[in-house]
Amino acid sequence: MYYRESGYYKTDYKSDMSLYPLPISRFAAFSLLVLFFLAAPVVMNEYYLTLLSLVAIATVGALGLNILLGYAGQLSIGHAAFMSVGAYTAANLATKFDLPFLITLPAGGLMAAAIGIVVGVPSLRIKGVYLAIATLAAQFIIEWIINHSPEISGGAQASIEVPRPTLLGEKLESPVELYYFLLIVAVIAVIATQNLIRSRIGRAFVAIRDQDIAAEIIGISVFKYKLYAFAISSFYAGVTGVLYTYYLGIASYEQFQLGVSIDYLAMVIIGGLGSILGSVFGAFFISLLPIAIRLFMESVGSIFVEPDVLAQSISQLRQILFGVLIIVFLIVEPDGLNRLWINIRNYFRVWPFSH
């Protein structure tokens, strides 16, 4: 009876502290890995694998923002700027110093974390609205600095071409190889976040989010942990930026503008604040939404409207639907997709005896 949740007695510390304490969660994690590692590349063609790769990249970024916003409670509208920091760091290191991918990836993350700490410093003094506006300013200022310093942005178009990533002497060129690599990074990010959240640091984040004054009183250095939150979140963002840069083969500031920050905010809010599974849901949802809308409009919309009218209004429809979805989720289901999933799970957990 692997799906039962009772009757498992933890008799040593190791089993008490394990990441997946129940057989059902081990089974679920394992089958998800099988699904994505073995089944997906066999069943899907390259186009869908590319989409899944994008989802994997977005997952890393969404996890980072969820650590900051969902767990530590610090609002940031500058997530994409940190991504651009990571992206340009990696691109410069890769092109100027010819460093391999395994070095540029963490380097991009660390550089973003350093910048994130600088941006996080005001969070000691300000919060809520003011922090939101300060991070918005960070978004514009970082974007402007990168765009206006040729040493960083590589000249006129403010974009740098990067070589294909090499891993263990193997060039990652086909979509399948890239997919596997990005999937591994995303899985590492998920597990790392799961562990972070139940560690001392993660619990300090939650304490600060729930009541910062109370957190201070029980001995948590609020300033230190807020900076941790910014640093860790920006590290994730930086890694996301590096991955995206290698994925596209070019570092361009246009990929990391305010709209992207808002996309990631939408991911963590629609997915569910303070939930790791929610970040993954959100990454899936927001990354695939434009494609779903396009497919839907091309199949259903073309019945009602002429194709050329449709082609004109498709991007506007996407914006409208995106906005509507954000608002509907905020009003109807504030805890996001994760809450929907928990409701479904709880229903089946006691099914058919719901009372």
Partner 1 sequence: MSGNMAFAIELFGQGVANGLMYSLVALGFVLIYKATDAINFAQGEFVMIAGIVISALASAAYEFPLWLALFAGLIFMVVFNIALERVVLRPLIGRPIVAIIMATIGLAFILRGIGPMVFGAAPRGLKLPIEDFPIIIGPFFFTPIQLLGAGISIIFLVIFGWFFLKTRKGIAMRAVADSHQVSGAMGINVERYFALAWVMAGIVAMLGGVLWGSASGVDTQLALVGLKVFPVVILGGLDSIIGVIVGGIIIGVAEALAAGFIDPYVGGGTKDFTPYVLMIIMLMIRPYGLLGRKLIERI
> Contact positions toward partner 1, by CB under 8 A?
69, 75, 122, 124-130, 132-134, 136-138, 140-141, 144, 147-148, 212-213, 216, 222, 262, 265-266, 269, 273, 312-313, 316-320, 322-327, 330-331, 334
Which of 45/316 has CB closer to partner 1?
316
3-state SS, residue 4: coil
Min dist CB 252 to partner 1, Å, is 17
Question: Is the sign of the CA dihedral 311, 296, 287, 133 positive or negative?
Answer: positive
**Rounded distance, CA 133 to CA 267, Å?**
20
Min dist CB 183 to partner 1, Å, is 29
Which of 102/126 has CB closer to partner 1?
126
Q: Which residues pair with 251 in a beta bridge?
A: 160
Cα distances (Å, whole numbers) of residue 228 to 15, 156, 282: 29, 36, 24
Which of 128/249 has CB closer to partner 1?
128
Min dist CB 264 to partner 1, Å, is 11
Backbone angles phi, psi at 292, to 5 degrees: -60, -45
Min dist CB 210 to partner 1, Å, is 12
Helix, strand, coil percentages, rounded to 5, for the chain: 75, 5, 20
User: Prior bond to 352 cis, omega within 30?
Assistant: yes
Which of 249/323 has CB closer to partner 1?
323
Nearest of 192, 196, 170 to residue 181 by alpha carbon? 170
Which of 134/242 has CB closer to partner 1?
134
Which of 307/323 has CB closer to partner 1?
323
Q: H/E element holding 293?
A: helix 276-296
Please state whether beta strands 250-252 and 159-161 pair in parallel, antiparallel, or not at all (unpaired).
antiparallel
Min dist CB 148 to partner 1, Å, is 6
Min dist CB 350 to partner 1, Å, is 30
Task: Find the largest Cα–Cα distance for the chain.
Answer: 67
Which of 95/147 has CB closer to partner 1?
147
Min dist CB 342 to partner 1, Å, is 19
Question: Is the sign of the CA dihedral 325, 330, 336, 342 positive or negative?
Answer: negative
